[in-house]
Amino acid sequence: MVNDSKRKKIKKQTFLRKLWRWTKRIFLWIFIFQFFYIILLKWVNPPITVTQLVSWIGGHGLKRDYVRRSSISPNAKLAVIDSEDQLFPDHSGFDWKSIKKAMKYNEKKPGRIRGGSTISQQVAKNVFLWQGRSWIRKGLETYFTFMIELVWGKKRILDVYLNVIEMGDGIFGIEMAANKYFNKPAKNLTRQEAALIAACLPSPKRYKVKPASAFVSGRSRRIMQQMNNLQVDPDIQKIIGLSP
Confidence of residue 46 (pLDDT cuts 50, 70, 90): very high
What is d(CA 72, CA 70) in angstroms, rounded to the nearest whole number? 6
DSSP for 141-175 reads HHHHHHHHHHHT-HHHHHHHHHHHSB-STTEESHH
What are 94-126's pLDDT values in tens digits? 876 665 555 554 454 444 344 468 999 999 999
Structural domain total, the chain:
2
Question: What pLDDT is attached to residue 111?
Answer: 43
pLDDT for position 114: 43
pLDDT at 147 over 90: yes
Is residue 96 domain-shared with residue 203, that is, in the same domain? yes
pLDDT at 38: 95
Statement to judge: residues 139 and 173 lie in one domain: yes
pLDDT at 3 over 80: no
pLDDT at position 109, please? 41
> How far apart (Å, rounded) are the C-alpha atoms in residues 40 and 144?
14
Domain residue limits at 2:
1-40
H or E element: which one contains 226?
Answer: helix 214-230
Q: 188: how many CB neighbours lie within 10 A of its CB?
A: 12
Tell me the average pLDDT across 7-24: 77
Task: Give me the half-sphere count of Cα atoms (radius 13 Å) on the Cβ side of residue 187.
Answer: 7
Phi and psi dihedrals of 73, rounded to 5? Answer: -60, 140
Helices and strands (H and E) in the chain: how many: 11, 2
> Quick one: pLDDT at residue 110?
44
Q: How high is the pLDDT of residue 113?
A: 40
- Answer whether residue 180 shows pLDDT above 70: yes
Q: Are residues 11 and 69 in the same domain?
A: no
Over residues 191-211, mean pLDDT: 91
Give the pLDDT score at 241.
86
Same domain, 20 and 134: no
Q: Are 33 and 54 members of one domain?
A: no
Clarify whether residues 224 and 208 are in a common domain. yes
More confident site: 220 or 11: 220
**So what's the pLDDT on residue 100?**
58
Percent of the chain residues past pLDDT 70, beyond the cut: 88
What CATH number did the domain enclosing 226 receive? 1.10.3810.10
Cβ-contact 101, 116 below 8 angstroms: yes
Lowest average pLDDT, out of 48-62, 96-110, 157-171, 210-224, goes to 96-110
